[in-house]
Structure formats: C-alpha cells, structure tokens
Amino acid sequence: MVTIENLSVEYEDGTFALRAINLKVHDGDSIAILGENGAGKTTLFYTMLGLLKISDGKILVNDIELSSPTLKEIRSQIGLVFQNPDDQLFMPTVEEDIAFGLRNYGKSEEEINKKIRDIAERLGIVHLLKKAPYKLSGGEKRLAALATVLAMEPQAILFDEPSSFLDPRSRRTVINLLKEIRDTKMIATHDIDLAWELCDRAIILSKGEVVAEGSIEEILKNENLLMKYGFELTTRSQTDRRF
C-alpha cells in the first residue's frame, strides 16, 4: 500500500532528519516505528503526509507518488493521530472537530451527522460530543482525536506515541481500541509493551536511519539491540508475546 524509496529529509543547515529510508507497508500491516527522541519517527510521519519537504527519494501510496498535485488524494488515504491531541482538536466542540474534515470534503450534513454518531458510539464518546476539547481529560482527548481521523475512513492510520500523556487506565482503553482497528497501522512509540500487543513488524530508527527491521519478535527479543538503542527491557522482552 505504501512504498518509501530512498527517502531523505535534509535541514537547511545540511544535517539529515531522515536518510535513505526504504520501507514497504502492505495492506493490513501493523508496524511499530521505534526510536529515541529525535530519531526521526515524527519526521517520517509528517513527510508521508507532505507536511515536510522530501530532499531525495519518493513516497508512493497505492502507486500514487506524493507531490503537490496529489497531496489531497494522499491525505484522503492516510490519517495521522498526533502525539499531542491539542494539536488536532481546535473547534469549539468535539462534534465539530469530527465534522471538520468531512465538511471540507463536501459531505452532506445528513452523512456527517450519521458518521459522527457511528464513530462516537464505536469509541464510547457520545457523551463528549457537545463538550469543548479543553475540558476533556488526556484519555478523552486521545479518543476524540482518534475519532476525527476514523471519520475520514483512511486506508492507513499513523499513530504518533498513542500512549503518551495517558494514565494506566486510559492507556489500556486506547490499546484495546487500537486492537479493534483492522486498517493498516504504523505506530511510532517508545512503549515496548504496546508494540508487542499491537504490531507484527518493527523498525528501529536512529539518527534518521533505519538500523534494524524485522518481525516484532525478532526485534523485541533482541536484548542487545534494544539496549544499544536506548530501550528498557521489559518482562515481555524475555517471554512469549501477547500472553
């Protein structure tokens, strides 16, 4: 579904945020993008949506190359749930935030209202629809931000640190919801246990380069690899997956 070929993103001072990234994402894949802060995870996601300029290489989504003329089509197929929900929620109410993208794409009000209701019921946030985003808890904001993306029915969803800012209960709620989403997923995370539960493949980014790629078991059971790139080992790194 997504092909990334020799992708590089260079800053004005000549340093690289991403260098020679190659990655194929197939329909239904669930891929963990692992790395320390500054490794390039968020940069990769922003570049996939045309928010940052490609210095070299290319990105194709369903054989459509990312470019200015194709940007709207690409963004209709790939959704991004930002690390900080406050970057995604900007309308007076949650209901209006969910409707915003749908209205921009010319959907009828009848279709929009039905979509809002369906998504809110699916995520268990009907009671939040009339609320202002700033009045929500961290977990509620995360669900509202997810609703704005799911409403657009993208073929793939990018999640940037979905467990950040969450207490343990809200974290578990979000993980369980992500398990139910069968769309193609790419999840940038520091959370090794979350990656175990949700992903089938993993790559590790370090200083903008892919330094390891493989099945989730190959990557997360390699203790030396995890320690080298700054991850704390968990009990799941040494036991069977998803017990």
N- to C-terminal Cα distance for the chain?
30
Element (H, E) at 126: none
Mean pLDDT score across all residues of the chain: 91
Tokens of 41: 């995870």
What residues contact residue 76 under an 8 Å CB cut-off, 6+ apart?
A: 105, 152, 154
What was the pLDDT predicted at 233? 67
Backbone angles phi, psi at 230, to 5 degrees: 85, 20
Residue 10 and residue 12: Cα distance in Å, rounded? 7
| pLDDT tens-place string over residues 16-39 | 999 999 999 999 999 999 998 889
Question: Which among 80, 187, 180, 84 has a CA at the least distance from the CA of 141?
Answer: 84
What residues contact residue 178 under an 8 Å CB cut-off, 6+ apart?
A: 159, 162, 185, 187, 198
pTM of full prediction above 0.85? yes
- Name the pLDDT band for 240 (thresholds 50, 70, 90): low
Ordered by where they begin, the domains of the chain are 2-238 (3.40.50.300)
| pLDDT tens-place string over residues 175-234 | 888 898 888 999 999 889 999 999 999 999 999 999 999 999 999 999 999 999 988 766
What was the pLDDT predicted at 25? 96
Residue 154 and residue 62: Cα distance in Å, rounded? 12
- Name the pLDDT band for 242 (thresholds 50, 70, 90): very low
| pLDDT tens-place string over residues 49-107 | 999 999 999 999 999 999 999 999 999 999 999 999 999 999 999 999 999 999 988 89
| pLDDT tens-place string over residues 170-188 | 888 888 888 988 889 999 9
Question: Which among 125, 198, 124, 216 has a CA at the least distance from the CA of 161?
Answer: 198
What was the pLDDT predicted at 243? 37
- Name the pLDDT band for 241 (thresholds 50, 70, 90): very low
What was the pLDDT predicted at 27? 93
